[in-house]
C-alpha cells in the first residue's frame, strides 16, 4: 500500500531482518508473480533478478510477499473463494489495453513504472475497461435471495473507527499473553 505522506516508494525488502536493495519496475515483479504460478512443491526459484546487489539466502518467500503483495485495508474480503480473478500473464492484453485506454500509459514503451504505482493504477481501473468486466465474470456468484449485496459491499468498504486508548491497552495485554 502506498503512503502518500512520504516522498518516494519502497526500494528495499527486509529479509531475515536485513534490508536488501531491489529493482522496483513492474515488469520485474510481474515476472516474480508469474514464476510463482508455475512453481511446483519442492522446486526452487531463481530470484537473483529481483536484487540490485547481493541476493540473500531466502528461507521464506513470504518476506518477498510483503513487497509484491502489499496489504490493503479496504476492501475487506467478503468471503474466501478459490476464484482467481486476475492472471498477469493470461490477462496481459487486457491489462495493457486498460492502462492505455484509461490512463494513456503504454506499458510496453514506458521506461519504468514502480510496482506500487502499477498496482494502484490497476486497482483504480474503472468499470468501462474490458478487464474489469472479465474480472466481474470470474467473480460472479448467483445471489442468494437472503443475501443483500449492498450489505456485503458496505462491509467490504466500511472504515472502522480508531481504537480507543482502553481498547489499545486491552489489545497490548492480549498480545503480551499470546506472543503477538
- Euclidean distance between CA atoms 37 and 109, whole angstroms: 26
The label of the residue with cell 456468484 reads 141
Please state which of the ranges 36-40, 45-49, 68-72 shows the lowest mean pLDDT.
Answer: 36-40
Domain that holds residue 118: 12-157
Does a structural domain hold residue 167? Answer: no
| Cis omega (within 30 of 0) for bond into 75 | yes
Give the count of domains, the chain: 1
Does a structural domain hold residue 49? Answer: yes
Does a structural domain hold residue 118? Answer: yes
- Give residue-wise pLDDT tens across range 166-177: 888 888 877 777
Evaluate whether 156 touches 78 at the Cβ level (below 8 Å).
yes
Does a structural domain hold residue 169? Answer: no
- Give residue-wise pLDDT tens across range 46-64: 899 999 998 888 877 888 9
Q: What are the grid coordinates assigned to 105, written together?
A: 500509459
The pTM for the full model equals 0.75
Does a structural domain hold residue 170? Answer: no
Give percent of the chain with pLDDT exceeding 90.
39
DSSP letters, 13-59, are EEETTEEEEB--BHHHHHHHHHHHHT--TT-----GGGBSSPPPP-S
Angle between helices 115-123 and 92-103 (to 10 degrees): 80
Does a structural domain hold residue 44? Answer: yes
Does a structural domain hold residue 106? Answer: yes
Q: In the structure, what pLDDT confidence band is assigned to residue 157 with cuts at 50, 70 and 90?
A: low
- Give residue-wise pLDDT tens across range 132-144: 888 888 877 777 7
- Give residue-wise pLDDT tens across range 6-33: 899 999 999 988 999 999 999 999 999 9
Average pLDDT of span 84-94? 91
3-state secondary structure of 10: coil
Does a structural domain hold residue 63? Answer: yes
Closest to 29 measured CA to CA, from 68, 64, 62 = 68
Per-residue pLDDT at 81 exceeds 70? no
Supply the DSSP symbol for 62.
Answer: H
Average pLDDT of every residue of the chain:
85
Amino acid at each position: 500500500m502506498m503512503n502518500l505522506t512520504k516522498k518516494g516508494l519502497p526500494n528495499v525488502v527486509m529479509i531475515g531482518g536485513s534490508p536488501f536493495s531491489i529493482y522496483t519496475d513492474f515488469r520485474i515483479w510481474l515476472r516474480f508473480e508469474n514464476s510463482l504460478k508455475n512453481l511446483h512443491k519442492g522446486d526452487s526459484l531463481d530470484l537473483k533478478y529481483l536484487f540490485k546487489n547481493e541476493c540473500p539466502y531466502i528461507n521464506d518467500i513470504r518476506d518477498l510477499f510483503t513487497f509484491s503483495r502489499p496489504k490493503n485495508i479496504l476492501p475487506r474480503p467478503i468471503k474466501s473463494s478459490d476464484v482467481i480473478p486476475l492472471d498477469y500473464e493470461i490477462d496481459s492484453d487486457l491489462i495493457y489495453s486498460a492502462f492505455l485506454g484509461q490512463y494513456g500509459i503504454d506499458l510496453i514503451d514506458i521506461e519504468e513504472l514502480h510496482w506500487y504505482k502499477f498496482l494502484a493504477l490497476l486497482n483504480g481501473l474503472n468499470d468501462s475497461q474490458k478487464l474489469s468486466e472479465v474480472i466481474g465474470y470470474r467473480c460472479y456468484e448467483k445471489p442468494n435471495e437472503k443475501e443483500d449485496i449492498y450489505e456485503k459491499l458496505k462491509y467490504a468498504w466500511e472504515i472502522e473507527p480508531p481504537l480507543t486508548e482502553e481498547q489499545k491497552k486491552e489489545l497490548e495485554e492480549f498480545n503480551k499473553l499470546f506472543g503477538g
